[in-house]
Structure 1
Amino acid sequence: MRKIILDCDPGHDDAVAILLAVGNPDIELLGLTTVGGNHTIDHVTRNAQQVLTVAGLHDVPVYRGVTRPLLNDVVTATDIHGDSGMEIHGFELPEPAVEAEEAGAVQWIVDTLMREEPGTVTLVPTGPLTNIALAARLEPRIVTRVREVVLMGGAYGAGNFSPSAEFNIAVDPEAAAIVFGEAWPVVMVGLDLTHQALATPEVESRFASLGTAPGDFVVGLIDAFRRNYKGAQGFDNPPVHDPCAVAYVIDPTVVDTVAVPVTVELAGAQTRGRTVADLRAFGAAMASGASPADAGAAAGACNTSVATRLDTERFWDLVVDAVKRLG
């Protein structure tokens, strides 16, 4: 089993990521930590508690994270996620039956990584990277103890917060620069990959056919997410970003990646928050007829990689199977 810490800001797609993590038998979820992003810290923490309650799980601890970015003002995505941060249609959310722990998220992340065997815990941040950056600064020794950081965020193509930057990176680019700049392995599961994970009506029908509370919960999430995403971003079907990072941890063959250097732009007037992936060597190798694997090797040794292609059918099979197990 892969031990993970899921650092999230629920959020519709974070909710699905939580269900995938708790419903898959190959994942041991050590705990959920929350971070302000899709909504403020109070809302996203309550949403995390509600997701676990819907799933019938009362033994996954929830730790409330920091309230704001390192330098930026608080920015939320209510146009996508609604006034609660997890707007839902046709499903009545329960009162949380899971309490938030007294310890803060950053200290708990540090304590957990220092307690667990080195190389056994994967960090899976699906929101802004503030908690993870602060943990690395609070206790630098955790960097060599982490197996890898698999994050949902960034893009090597177009952004969504701005033409250049993706939301999770843009709202706290200083934190992202810290995380990408550390020596631990980082896998960036960005928009280039997650825009392939579209929740179509056919996908939605698979959850509806389960006839369970978790299945109906996902249907309600997708319904609301589809309407909001159409209005805000113009997508007919919403991309369900965050479960893609969890799916990679479960089965890396579901996601193609290429190792390339990635840095975070902090100063550009039009590009602040952009994840700059140096694809030059990879592109040249591909142009000369190399396979993707050989082209990746040609890009040189580095500790960062970017996700490029999703096996969509296998991805949705993983998610549906996890939700089915919870039912």
Structure 2
Amino acid sequence: ALAYAFLNSEVFDVVGVTVNNTRNGDGIQGQYDEALRVIQLFNLENKIPLYKGADKSYAEIVPFISDTVFDGKPAVDFIIQEAMKMTDEKLVLVPVGKLTNIALAIKKEPEIVNKIRVVWLGSNYPGPGEYNLDNDTTSVNPVIESGVPFEMVTVRYGEPSGTAAVTVTREEVSKFLSGKGPKSEIAITGRHGGTFTCFGDYSANLFEHAQMHGNPPSRALFDMAAVAIIKNPDWAEKKEIPAPLLQGLEWVGQTDNQNKIIIWENFKRDSIVNDLFQLIEESTPE
């Protein structure tokens, strides 16, 4: 998702990156290190700021948000700072993990609700569960109920209608990404070892180590799809619904709710994936 945003520098003005910790994330430092690797591969270190966000959940952190130090504070303060700068347009936040940092930022400075648009890669709506949602269920309702412009880019494992269907195989990654991308000024050490000087090679290495699913064996580019539909809303279908309530892991409809949210589904897999392949090809030095 980060690489795709960086490759789209003519479309997106990335003001910063915040991370948070999820179960498979190797701790908050592991999340930070991985984001930094991608930033370095695009020669953007010291140009695009990177902040550590929440390790624990919203419910665990929220009692402490008035303290001088609390879990996730660097990211929370950065979100507030950047949002408050906005006058004519909204700052688009694209959480591709749990919603904790954003929920905390809204709680700490409610004024940002009118200055941000939240596009979340999360949930199997209307079905229960999903990795990003499960990692902090306590952060979901506070964001939705704040009235912030909120869009859910659905995952829906095993169904054709969610980002889980925006898949690529190892063979495709090897063919279209290996050796591709800008050449980095410094060689980075990968999460699984090895050294890399372009994002294409690193992504191929990540795919070698990642678990594949389905037939043919492939992996979904969930997070990237969330960024892609901001670039081109025609690459998926969106519908407005009365904002639901999360009870436990289940969604409960609230048909008379005046607060509305947007649901994204039915993603155009080929358009999204081919855009990545074309962009990284164009960014590769001769």
TM-score (norm 2): 0.78
Contact conserved, 1:196 with 1:312, CA < 8 A, in 2?
Answer: yes
Counting only pairs closer than 5 Å after superposition, residues 222-301 of structure 1 correspond to structure 2 as: 222-225=207-210, 228-230=211-213, 236-266=217-247, 272-276=248-252
C-alpha change, 1:103 and 1:167, in structure 2 (3 Å) is closer
The CA distance in 1 between the partners of 2:88 and 2:137, in whole Å, is 28
Corresponding residue for 1:304?
261
**How many residues were matched structurally?**
249
Corresponding residue for 1:85?
none
The CA distance in 1 between the partners of 2:134 and 2:279, in whole Å, is 31
TM-superposed deviation, 1:67 = 1.9
Kindly provide the CA deviation profile for residues 48-76 of structure 1, in whole angstroms up to 9, marking residues without a partner as x: 11111122222111011122112379xxx
| Aligned mate of 1:187, from 151, 162, 185 | 151
The letter for the 1-side match of 2:41 is: V
| Aligned mate of 1:120, from 75, 90, 93 | 90
Counting only pairs closer than 5 Å after superposition, residues 126-275 of structure 1 correspond to structure 2 as: 126-146=96-116, 148-156=117-125, 158=127, 164-192=128-156, 193-201=162-170, 203-204=172-173, 205-208=175-178, 210=180, 213-225=198-210, 228-230=211-213, 236-266=217-247, 272-275=248-251
The CA distance in 2 between the partners of 1:26 and 1:157, in whole Å, is 31
Contact conserved, 2:152 with 2:262, CA < 8 A, in 1?
Answer: yes
TM-score (norm 1): 0.69
Corresponding residue for 1:43?
30
Contact conserved, 2:119 with 2:151, CA < 8 A, in 1?
Answer: yes
In the alignment, structure 2 segments of 5+ residues that lack a partner are: 62-71, 157-161, 184-197
Contact conserved, 1:126 with 1:151, CA < 8 A, in 2?
Answer: yes
Where 1:304 maps in the other structure, the secondary structure is strand
The CA distance in 2 between the partners of 1:251 and 1:300, in whole Å, is 29
Contact conserved, 1:256 with 1:309, CA < 8 A, in 2?
Answer: yes
TM-superposed deviation, 1:42 = 1.1
The CA distance in 2 between the partners of 1:111 and 1:305, in whole Å, is 26
Q: Which moved more, 1:127-136 or 1:200-209?
A: 200-209
| Aligned mate of 2:52, from 61, 64, 85 | 64
Kindly provide the CA deviation profile for residues 78-98 of structure 1, in whole angstroms up to 9, marking residues without a partner as x: xxxxxxxxxxxxxxxxxxxxx
The letter for the 1-side match of 2:249 is: G
The CA distance in 1 between the partners of 2:139 and 2:234, in whole Å, is 29
C-alpha change, 1:103 and 1:182, in structure 2 (3 Å) is closer
C-alpha change, 1:234 and 1:127, in structure 2 (3 Å) is farther
Q: Which moved more, 1:246-255 or 1:317-326?
A: 317-326
Could you say what the CA RMSD is over the residues aligned between the two structures, in angstroms?
2.7
% same residue: 23
C-alpha change, 1:136 and 1:277, in structure 2 (3 Å) is same
Corresponding residue for 2:193?
none
The CA distance in 2 between the partners of 1:264 and 1:134, in whole Å, is 18
Counting only pairs closer than 5 Å after superposition, residues 76-95 of structure 1 correspond to structure 2 as: none
